[in-house]
Structure 1
Amino acid sequence: MTFDHIYQYNFPTTIRFGAGAIKELPAYLRQNGLKRPLIVTDSTIAVLPFFKTIVSDLRIHGIAVEVFSDIHKNPVKSDVYKGTEVWDDTARDSVIGIGGGAALDVARAIVLRVNHREDLFKYDDLIGGDVYVTNEVPHFITVPTTSGTGSEVGRSAIIADDETHQKKILFSPKLMAKIVFADPALTMDLPSFITAATGMDALTHNMEAFLAKNPHPLCDGIALEGISLIKDALEPATNRPDIESRSKMLMASMMGAIAFQKGLGVVHSLAHPLSSLLDTHHGLANAVNLPYGMEFNIEGFEDKFRRIARTLELKEENGKAVVEYLFNLNTKINIPHHLGDIGVKSEHIETLADLAFADFAHPNNPKPVSRADFKHLYLTAL
């Protein structure tokens, strides 16, 4: 792959990939007769120069843009309802999600809600709610600005209950974007902390997908290649960013999201409660927990860890070397090794263990995880 060219991939949806791809957005909208998009983003991105340039370029081309950015960094149901009110009040014809996982999850949930007006959590996939996603949905476009969740190529949105903080999954093949404009140049100005945290999120997705218990050889291959790209790119993307490292990270992020249709695991169940209870950045929560979760999974799955170690080109091809690599990588990109360093206190552990055990991710872990296991993992990481 060269990094001065725009490529098109059609997997799982149409992806325009390369520096400058975002410049194709106005023409795409006009070609599809879309003149009144609702852009969903977050309050941080909404004030950045590159975002203002995107909006200005659309307006110059006669596109009447409305921006909604009033969302939490860990999205909740009320964010989706507020965004849908903006859709109703301003007569939009399409949705463009621009941002990281939070913005794209809210955008996708608004896409669902436009023509599905019962309680949002009726459509929770964990209780079979996907069968109620029967109506048409608006034209949906995604533009990632971080290399982490890979939500731009996904079919689901994770939205939390405002009161209980429990996360729900809204899922349907209808919620996949019609097209993704994946422009690594949009990630060039990300602060190093966000680059590091989102990059470790992408690594967690690829590693957990590879280990997940459901058989899916296609996803296994994608996950290993994603791990390989991150091995080469995350540290330079964080500390010495250039378009090559940013391109590799953006591709690896999408690969992780494609791979984790196979499932996730213990690390995400450790991380989700930190976000819902303590408002911890999701990528940071995954990053700190990843070495501990991987260590938990080694026994019984030595062959899988041998393949991960080989992909990482480690001298010792075993699980212990993988865990050591993860701690070392966190050090190189300035991620702390302990939960106590990111605001977790001993009095949080019991509640965190309850939430983790109730989480949707760990049933796909390669081995069962009990509440006692979660408590032990939190205490070890504390």
Structure 2
Amino acid sequence: MTDFHKIHQYNFPTVVRFGIGAIQELGPHLKTQQLQQPLLVTDPVIASLDFFKKIVSDLSSQGLRPEVYHGVSKNPVKSDVLKGGEAFQENQCDAIVGIGGGAALDVARAIALRIHHHRDLFDYDDLIGGDQYITGEVPYFITVPTTAGTGSEVGRSAIISEDDTKRKRILFSPKLLAKIVFADPALTFDLPPFVTAATGMDALTHNMEAYLAKGFHPMADGIALEGIKLIASSLEQAVKQPDDVSRSKMLLASLMGAVAFQKGLGVVHSLAHPLSSLLDTHHGLANAICLPYGMEFNSEGLEDRFVTMGQALGIEQPDSKKVVEHLFQLNDRLGLPAKLSSQGVKPEHIETLADLAEADFCHPNNPKPVTREDFKQLYLKAL
């Protein structure tokens, strides 16, 4: 068995320092890069927690001058990024360290873009070819995940919403990949059961949707299947009786899902994104509720792939129906709801949600085409 108390390094897609205690390497690494004044980007909740305060204290004790920006919304918007850029400039920072879950890491990445790229932020939207304008350098950028869910620490994109319409935009460039990731499972130890469950289902959704996404990418497929296996063997333990091994496996699976979904995502994420932007639903929870319905939609014609995923999930004699049933049962065992109505979704929201889902950027990679009417019926089924 892997000793997760030993710090391991692997380089894919960037340098990852993984293991319990890895966060202790942050200060020495900054100093070897001759960096003195990092901007630590996080959200208000994490900024108030003891482990974050200890990170700040440890950096200060090593002669560094960390500045903290915690103006990160649960579903981040453009103004979060602009204010973070101002904090970087006003404090004359020389590096950016994103610490947190997907929201904090996305904002940190977008701030890194903002520092030397001064067009309107959404001119860089990848969906309108904005990546062509990302030609300058970015500040030295480090990521530190504190949840096992989005895997944003190894990503090259940031999803940021417009303040007024809540429309999601995607900023993407290889320049936005972190120089190094300090992935310390100990930073996830104090997560409450709900957050562990919701973010864990987010990671499972990434791996499953990546495996099903259309296109040919055998490396992503292999990584996704291994991620599914790790989650199947550790998620319930991490939620109900967490230990070092289950927390470590979940963080690895989260990292793997984010690498695998370079192949693409699909219908589940296009269902989930509007729930977050319109109703401020936690992204992981939105994915958790929508996952069984999206998988059921995709099952016909992909029976072989569902059998393989079922084997990775540990289902005996798996088939498409058993995989979908397993996902409903898993949510129930984790204490997560099965219906969107539990999160305040009402019939009058359905038309707007269907419009937003149809406009979402994930479902073009779904293995089956998804129409607006399909989205409407899926929302109604999940309601």
Same-fold call, TM > 0.5? yes
1:55 aligns with 2:47: no
Structure-2 residue corresponding to 1:259: 260
TM-score, structure 1 normalization: 0.99
Structure-2 residue corresponding to 1:324: 325
Unaligned runs of 5+ in 1: none
1:272 aligns with 2:273: yes
Unaligned runs of 5+ in 2: none
- In the TM superposition, residue 14 of structure 1 has moved relative to its aligned partner by 0.3
Structure-2 residue corresponding to 1:226: 227
- In the TM superposition, residue 88 of structure 1 has moved relative to its aligned partner by 1.1
Structure-1 residue corresponding to 2:354: 353
CA deviation profile, 1:222-255 (whole Å, cap 9, x unmatched)? 0000000000111010111111000000000000
> In the aligned structure 2, how far is the partner of 1:195 from the partner of 1:314?
22
What amino acid is the match of 1:186?
L
Structure-2 residue corresponding to 1:121: 122
CA deviation profile, 1:180-229 (whole Å, cap 9, x unmatched)? 00000000000111000000000000000000002100000000000000
Give the secondary-structure state (helix, strand or coil) at the position aligned to 1:261. Answer: coil
CA deviation profile, 1:266-286 (whole Å, cap 9, x unmatched)? 000000000000000000000
> In the aligned structure 2, how far is the partner of 1:194 from the partner of 1:313?
24
> In the aligned structure 1, how far is the partner of 2:273 from the partner of 2:347?
17
1:148 aligns with 2:149: yes
> In the aligned structure 1, how far is the partner of 2:331 from the partner of 2:50?
30
Structure-2 residue corresponding to 1:369: 370
Structure-1 residue corresponding to 2:165: 164
> In the aligned structure 2, how far is the partner of 1:332 from the partner of 1:225?
22
- In the TM superposition, residue 303 of structure 1 has moved relative to its aligned partner by 0.9
TM-score, structure 2 normalization: 0.99
Aligned positions of 1:150-229 closer than 5 A? 150-229=151-230
**What percentage of residue pairs aligned between the two structures are identical?**
68
1:289 aligns with 2:290: yes
Structure-1 residue corresponding to 2:65: 64
Give the secondary-structure state (helix, strand or coil) at the position aligned to 2:345. Answer: coil
- In the TM superposition, residue 3 of structure 1 has moved relative to its aligned partner by 2.1
Give the secondary-structure state (helix, strand or coil) at the position aligned to 1:34. Answer: coil
- In the TM superposition, residue 316 of structure 1 has moved relative to its aligned partner by 2.9
- In the TM superposition, residue 58 of structure 1 has moved relative to its aligned partner by 0.1
RMSD: 0.6
> In the aligned structure 2, how far is the partner of 1:28 from the partner of 1:181?
10
> In the aligned structure 1, how far is the partner of 2:155 from the partner of 2:286?
21
Structure-1 residue corresponding to 2:105: 104
Give the secondary-structure state (helix, strand or coil) at the position aligned to 1:143. Answer: strand
Structure-1 residue corresponding to 2:302: 301
What amino acid is the match of 1:260?
F
Give the secondary-structure state (helix, strand or coil) at the position aligned to 1:313. Answer: coil
> In the aligned structure 2, how far is the partner of 1:290 from the partner of 1:174?
31
> In the aligned structure 1, how far is the partner of 2:316 from the partner of 2:111?
48
Aligned residue pairs: how many? Answer: 382
> In the aligned structure 1, how far is the partner of 2:316 from the partner of 2:39?
50
CA deviation profile, 1:303-328 (whole Å, cap 9, x unmatched)? 11011011112123211111011011
